[in-house]
Amino acid sequence: MRVAFLGLGIMGQAMATNLVKAGHEVTVWNRTPKPVEGAAVAQTPAAAAQGAEVVWLCVSDTDAVEQVVFGHDGVQASLAEDMIIADSSTISPSATLRFAERIAAKGAAWVDAPMTGSKIGARDGTLVFIVGGDEANVERLKPLFAAMGKKIFRMGETAKGQATKLVMNLQIALIFEGFAEALTLAAKLGVDPQQLVSLIEATMVRSGVVEYKAPFILQRDFTPNFPLRLMHKDIRLALEAAKEARVKLPGLQTVEEIYEMATEDGHQDLDYAATLTLLEKWAGVQVKGKAA
Ligand code: NA7
């Protein structure tokens, strides 16, 4: 398929590379110019989108998507009948609906396709896509999903993918916070964190989040797999969506304050697991595995 891929950050670069490898005709654009081997490079989003069947977006946030699509030299200038904009950025569900309406006027369609699987999933083509959009359009995108991921879950019409992604990250943030608080109190009470992790893994307390994060934490490796600033953005998006829907999320509200303080401490570009360091600072302990 002819695909324009816009946004070559940690995730986008690897996803565009996998589209090229699968034999698609890819043109890339990034705000800070960057090449992708085997892809043509365009100077603007509009130029990249010219003649494309699908425009795939993977940029930071709602404002970035708005700028790339509707801003100066944006995709809007090249919209065509039957073109699909697929958005893998995690952004606001209500803004997604507004964007979809604006491009529908030109006969184009919006499919929101945020994903999970982190940078390793993007590199290995094993992402899980959480999708919202018209069934026929999602079907048309299947060869592209197959090149970048291992599974897609269509959650409903446009914006349902974004809504679902937010509630998934809400859970990750809260589960991790539970783990981090447990580790901190355990350390303060003199319990060995490595042994605690082994116990967690042998009981119903276990979770994918703990399984993934524990090895990094025990080695005190906070290099970003999923940067704190992006998890913080998703927490804010979930709180915003909850406010719009008149839903109270007191647990997430508190966790948001922790991310706020972690950002004040300068941890925004580390992994979100670095929120642990704040709890440690308050408790005056450090969680250490044998290897650390
Ligand atoms: P990164 O690695 O932080 O990459 C962000 C990308 O977004 C990168 O290509 C940026 O371009 C681009 N960006 C940011 N702001 C803008 C604006 N205003 N206009 C155009 N392009 C912009 O994030 P990830 O790849 O890890 O994640 C991307 C999304 O997937 C995000 O929503 C996650 O939550 C999930 P730059 O290179 O800085 O010029």
Q: With contact defined as beta carbons under 8 Å apart, do 18 and 30 qualify?
A: no
Residue 291, pLDDT > 80, answer no
Nearest ligand 1 atom to alpha carbon 34: 37
Per the CB < 8 A criterion, the answer to whether 161 and 155 are in contact is yes
User: Does the beta carbon of 268 lie inside 6 Å of ligand 1?
Assistant: no
Residues 86, 65: Cα–Cα separation, whole Å = 11
Q: Decide: 10 in ligand 1 pocket, CB within 6 A.
A: yes
Torsion angle defined by CA atoms of residues 240, 242, 248 and 253, in that order, rounded to the nearest 10 degrees: -40
Instruction: Report whether residue 58 contacts ligand 1, using a CB cutoff of 6 Å.
Output: yes
Ligand 1, atom 21, residue with closest C-alpha: 31
Q: Which ranges in 41-130 belong to alpha helices (H)?
A: 45-49, 62-70, 93-104, 118-124
**Residue 60 beta carbon below 6 angstroms from any ligand 1 atom:** yes
3-state secondary structure of 86: strand
Over the stretch 59-91, which tens digit does the pLDDT of each residue have? 999 999 999 999 999 999 999 999 999 999 999
Atom of ligand 1 nearest to the CA of 90: 32
194 lines ligand 1 (CB under 6 A): no
The finding on whether 54 has its CB within 6 A of some atom of ligand 1 is: no
- Under the banding of pLDDT at 50, 70 and 90, the label for residue 289 is confident
If pLDDT is split at 50, 70 and 90, which confidence band does 292 have?
low
Residue 119 dihedral angles phi and psi, to the nearest 5°:
-70, -25
3-class secondary structure, 262 = helix
Atom of ligand 1 nearest to the CA of 31: 39
Mean pLDDT score of the chain, rounded to an integer?
A: 97
Task: List the domains of the chain with CATH numbers.
Answer: 2-157 (3.40.50.720), 163-283 (1.10.1040.10)
Protein residue whose Cα sits closest to atom 34 of ligand 1: 90
The atom number, within ligand 1, closest to the CA of 7 reads: 9
Q: Name the closest-CA residue to atom 11, ligand 1.
A: 31
Per-residue pLDDT tens digits for 194-217 = 999 999 999 999 999 999 999 999
Q: What is the pLDDT of residue 201?
A: 97
Q: What is the pTM of this model?
A: 0.94
pLDDT for res 225: 87
Q: Specify whether the CB–CB gap between 36 and 12 falls below 8 A.
A: no
Nearest CA to 262 out of 173, 171, 170 is that of: 173
> Is beta strand 115-116 parallel, antiparallel or unpaired with respect to 109-112?
unpaired
Nearest to 41 by CA among 79, 82, 8: 8
Size of the chain in residues: 292
The ligand 1 atom nearest the CA atom of 119: 26
Residue 166's pLDDT band, with cuts at 50, 70 and 90, is: very high
| Cβ neighbours for 83, distance < 8 A, ≥ 6 positions apart | 49, 52, 53, 54, 55, 107, 108, 109
Q: Are 138 and 160 in contact (CB under 8 A)?
A: no
Ligand 1 pocket member 36 (CB < 6 A): no
**Per-residue pLDDT reduced to its tens digit, 220-268:** 999 998 899 999 999 999 999 999 999 999 999 999 999 999 999 999 9
At 107-154, the pLDDT tens digits run 999 999 999 988 889 999 999 999 999 999 999 999 999 999 999 999
Closest-CA residue to 210 (of 229, 228, 193): 193
Confidence of residue 92 (pLDDT cuts 50, 70, 90): very high
Q: Is 68 in the pocket of ligand 1 (CB under 6 A)?
A: yes
- pLDDT bin (cut points 50, 70, 90) of residue 290 is low
pLDDT band at 57 (very low <50, low <70, confident <90, very high): very high
Active site residues: 165
Q: How far apart are alpha carbons 74 and 67 in whole angstroms? A: 7
Best residue for ligand 1 mutational test, from 58, 60, 116, 148 (most atoms within 8 Å of Cβ): 60
**Location of structure tokens 């897609």:** 152
81 C-alpha to center of ligand 1: Å? 27
Residue 110 main-chain phi, psi, to 5 deg: -110, 130
Quote helix, strand, coil % in the chain, to nearest 5. Answer: 55, 15, 35
